[in-house]
Amino acid sequence: MLLAIDVGNTDTVLGVFDGSRLVADFRLHTEPRATGAELGLVVVALLRSAGVEPEAISAVAVSNVVPDLSRSLEDLGRQRFGGPPLVIGPGVRTGIRIHYDDPSLVGADRIANAVAAQHLYGGPAIICDFGTATTVDAIDAAGDYLGGAVAPGLMVSHDALVERAARLSNVDLAAPTAVLGHNPRASMQAGLMLGYAGLAEGLVARMRREMEGEPKLILTGGLAPLMAGLIPGVYATDEWLTLVGLRLLHELNTA
Catalytic sites, residue numbers: 109
Q: Three-state secondary structure along 216-247?
A: EEEEECCCHHHHHCCCCCCCEECCCHHHHHHH
CA distance 34 to 163: 27
Paired residues of 176 in beta bridges: none
